[in-house]
Structure 1
Amino acid sequence: DLVAQGREVSDIRATFGNVVSTMLSTEIGNAAGTTVSTVEHLMSALSALGIDNLLVEIDGPEVPVLDGSSEIFLERIEAAGIEKLDAPRNAIRILKPVVVEDGQKRAALLPGEGFSIAFEIDFDNPVIGRQSIETDLHDPFFAEDILRSRTFCLRRDIEAMWEVGLAKGGSLDNAVVVDDDHVMNEGGLRYEDEFVRHKVLDAVGDLALSGMPLIGRYEGSRAGHAMNNRVLRALMADPSAYEVVDFAEARRPAPLARELAISAD
């Protein structure tokens, strides 16, 4: 749960059903009209750390963007310490493919073991271009490989947003800014493919709004916050597409996968 501290304290459950906007970031809200935006970077860090029971107190309408990645959240949470609760941990195991498409955009949740992620982007920009990556949330190097990647934008886009009063806090300190054929940040990129890595970071954070760990596979192509929320809503709207299991079941293949394996033998 996120507790927004303003004139009045207001609880917002961090779930996919409470997403009220996906423009530029993922924003959640409640019936009282209280909203908190840019939850995805914090949610991604929590997902990577295996934390799904937490109360966050925030004074303001947005989770601090910090350096544009999840790294600082990860470091501070690990430094504070994580308590393992003496209670069963449930997970959502995906049983059949769920796919949403919008033109060239595609997001899919598929059966699988653990939680693997494949993502590709294709930008009409020589610096970003076409990039793809495949990783696994439970890989010991996931935090190092993915959570340090920063959000990015084109200079012309950020200037357009400034003109209409948006992204006022955006700067080279909290985002990678691309100007035509070069990166404006003095230190350059943290990874050659930092752009697609950050798309994975965002997707993991958006999908963490399922409320439980997911067991399966996510595939995204030119997808963003809206597509991530759409595919999660589509999954949860179809009771035959998933089952809730004890998290210890995560290492066991889904029934459909077991059936296919037997058939292949």
Structure 2
Amino acid sequence: MKQRTIAKSIEIVGIGLHKGVPVKMKLEPLDSDMGIVFYRVDAGVTIPLKKEYVVDTKMATVIGKDGVVISTIEHLLSAVYAYGIDNLRIVIDNDEVPVLDGSSAGYCMLLEEAGIKELEKSKKAIKIKKMVEVTTPDGKRVCLKPSNRIVYDFEIDFEHPAIGKQKFHFDYSISEYKENISRARTFGFLHEVQYLRSIGLAQGGSMENAIVLDQTKVLNPEGLRFDDEFVRHKILDAIGDMALLEYTMVGEYDAIAGSHHLNHLLTKKLFESAENYEIIDLEEASSEAVVFEMAYANADN
């Protein structure tokens, strides 16, 4: 199995979630072993997609270098990671990735329009060898476990009548990602949106790009795309955050009330010991290659 990039450059203009200003973004193909890199064209700064460059995880995953940041990268990266793209240059003229409709479905469409191209060198993956977890005193937990498959399990429990307790189990494939994960939108509570706007954030947030809830119900006129759209979006975010591993993961991600912050701590903890993982070559590791071949099958590239 070979590394992947996109077949041609493609460009979009969208609105940033927090500043609410237009953002121009271009995706460009890269050759083998070049990884995923962001380039702030307005500042002339390149930021590689590595855990060392994560500078904030409170409201979104934010990377930065030399005082230049790029925020809300997780939805784009979720689609890029799900499509198995190893090498990509993301050129952007502001400090936020466009929010689109609050999901990653638009990015799936963008990647399919650009097309997927196989490169000459073999694809590598990171295989989880030992369980690694991060917990908090209030019961939150994120964990990576050994598995010969690619699995995401997530559980949330909100004291809100429209959410409550939700669980979702996702066996990775591109087609399942498109159908069951990519369309799930980010969500927020009306009082939080009002507060964020009062401090100059969420200026681009609306019911066009997020699920908004008051104290009792969903305010969006069209309602939900899935009954459990909230937990599905948490998996979408987690997949994007796992892109910071730099290789597609073979293993199981399991979370209870996980967050961008806990995901970042988890990626850091995984790399604390070489006993926790191994980098495998999918030209040589036939059993893992089969997992990816099945996951990529029937994808509308």
Give the TM-score normalised by the residue count of structure 1: 0.92
CA distance in 1, matches of 2:287, 2:241: 23
- 2:126 is matched with 92
User: For the Cα contact (< 8 Å) 2:185–2:229, is it kept in 1?
Assistant: yes
Q: Deviations over 1:47-99 (max 9, x none)?
A: 11110200010010000001000000110110111111011111111000001
Counterpart secondary structure, 2:118: coil
Higher mean C-alpha deviation, range 241-250 or range 87-96? 241-250
How far apart in 1 are the matches of 2:257 and 2:110? 31
TM-superposed deviation, 1:218 = 0.2
1:51 aligns with 2:85: yes
Report the AA paired with residue 81 of structure 2. Answer: S
Report the equivalent of 2:143: 108
Structure with the bigger percentage of strand: 2
Cross-structure match for 1:160: 195
Instruction: State the shift of 1:139 in Å.
Output: 6.0
| Residue number among 216, 219, 225 corresponding to 1:181 in the alignment | 216
Q: Does 1:5 align with 2:41?
A: yes
Within 5 Å, which residues of 2 pair with 1:1-265? Answer: 1-6=37-42, 8-30=43-65, 32-103=66-137, 104-138=139-173, 140-248=175-283, 249=285, 251-252=287-288
Aligned partner of residue 83 in structure 1, secondary structure = strand
* Ranges in structure 2 where 5+ consecutive residues have no aligned partner: 1-36, 290-301
Look up the equivalent residue of 1:136 and give its one-letter code: D
> Which secondary structure does the structure 2 equivalent of 1:45 belong to?
helix
Classify 1:223/1:250 alpha carbon distance in 2 versus 1 (closer, same or farther; 3 Å). farther
What is the one-letter code of the residue matched to 2:253? Answer: Y
The aligned amino acid for 1:35 is: V
Instruction: Determine the C-alpha separation between the residues in 2 that align with 1:215 and 1:190.
Output: 29
Give the TM-score, by structure 2 length: 0.81
Letter in 2 for 1:192: D
How many Å separate the matches in 2 of 1:197 and 1:91?
A: 24
- Identity over aligned pairs, percent: 40
Opposite residue 236 of structure 1, the aligned amino acid is F
- Gapped regions of structure 1 (runs ≥ 5): 254-265
CA contact (8 A) 1:215 1:250 kept: no
Deviation string 1:12-56 (CA, Å, 9 cap, x unpaired) is 0112221100011100011x1111000000000011111020001
Matches of 2:239 and 2:222 in 1, distance apart? 26
Offset of 1:237 from its aligned partner? 1.5
CA RMSD of aligned residues (A): 1.3
Q: Is residue 109–residue 216 contact of structure 1 (8 Å, CA) maintained in 2?
A: yes
Give the aligned partner of residue 296 of structure 2: none
Indicate the SS of the match to 2:98: coil
Q: Secondary structure at the match of 1:153?
A: strand
Matched residues in 2 for 1:230 and 1:65: separation?
Answer: 24
